């Protein structure tokens, strides 16, 4: 796994959406655990402690997945190209380099991405070979967090 040298978003749209994402997640955490949760359960009761612990754990998981997505370098930059090139490999005219199969050039990042899935505006980077697992897990983390917060006993 390679780490990205520049993990900041590349354009204004990515910067705005990434900033929104990293602002809303802690705000939702605060709202759910310090405003909503005390209205359902007595403070420091076992149910309150359970939901507070799960909420904090899920905040850590969501933020660590977002950071892992942003830090993983999925580009072909710095990768060793084999001496014998397979016929499946192609020449990227923009990067001016040999690119492996299933790699595509990202117009926003301006580099070829290994197994490119898409350019994610929420993280400001491309989803590809090294960070695809974290990206796939992220919506499931949001689902678990949502289920924990909406299925409170009455």
As annotated, the active-site residues are 120
88 by Cβ neighbours in 10 Å (0-12 / 13-18 / 19+) ranks as exposed
Q: Quote the CA–CA distance of 93 and 138 in Å, as a whole number.
A: 34
Give the count of beta carbons closer than 10 Å to the beta carbon of residue 75: 24
Radius of gyration (C-alpha) of the chain in whole angstroms: 20
Burial grade of 5 (CB within 10 A; 0-12, 13-18, 19 or more): exposed
C-alpha span between 146 and 138 (Å, rounded): 12
């Amino acid at each position: 796994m390679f780490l990205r040298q520049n993990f900041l978003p590349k354009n204004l749209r990515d910067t705005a959406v990434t900033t929104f994402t990293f602002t809303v997640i802690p705000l939702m955490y605060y709202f759910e655990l310090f405003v909503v949760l005390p209205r359902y359960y007595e403070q420091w009761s076992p149910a309150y402690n359970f939901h507070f612990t799960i909420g904090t754990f899920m905040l850590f998981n969501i933020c660590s997945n977002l950071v892992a997505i942003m830090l993983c370098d999925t580009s072909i930059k710095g990768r060793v190209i084999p001496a014998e090139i397979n016929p499946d490999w192609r020449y990227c005219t923009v990067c001016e380099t040999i690119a492996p199969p299933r790699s595509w050039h990202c117009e926003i990042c301006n580099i070829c991405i290994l197994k490119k899935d898409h350019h994610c505006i929420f993280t400001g980077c491309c989803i590809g070979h090294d960070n695809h697992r974290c990206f796939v897990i992220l919506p499931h983390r949001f689902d678990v967090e949502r289920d924990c917060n909406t299925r409170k006993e009455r």
